[in-house]
Amino acid sequence: MRVVSAILHDYKHAFDEVRIVRGEKGSFVLSCDGAVLFSKHDAGRSVEPDEALAIVRAHLGPGVPVMER
């Protein structure tokens, strides 16, 4: 859940809706606006929080500010 917490902290202002869907057998899929940004199954590994933030940042683009930590 560290990944989810990091994304929500930095970008909660950028989303109208956030859903966390529990998968089967430890699956993890990071998606935004219907686009799959990371899949644990496809990558064969878990995503790190900083990596997930970079993926979301790249998807949202430079015009979306990051909340201060």
Q: What is the CATH number of the domain that holds 54?
A: 3.40.30.10
65 belongs to a structural domain = no
pLDDT of residue 15: 85
66 in a structural domain: no
Residue 68 lies in a domain: no
Residue 31 lies inside a defined structural domain of this protein: yes
Domain range for residue 45? Answer: 2-60
Please state the φ and ψ torsions of residue 37, each to the nearest 5 degrees.
-95, -30
Question: Is 22 inside any structural domain?
Answer: yes
pLDDT digits (tens, 9 = 90+) for 9-63: 999 898 887 777 777 777 888 988 888 999 998 999 989 999 999 999 999 999 9
Say which amino acid occupies 48.
E
pTM of the model: 0.81
For residue 34, being part of any structural domain is answered with yes
| Of the candidates 18, 16, 15, the residue with the CA atom closest to the CA atom of residue 1 | 18
How many domains does one find in the chain? 1
* Cα 38 from Cα 31, distance rounded (Å): 7
pLDDT band at 3 (very low <50, low <70, confident <90, very high): confident
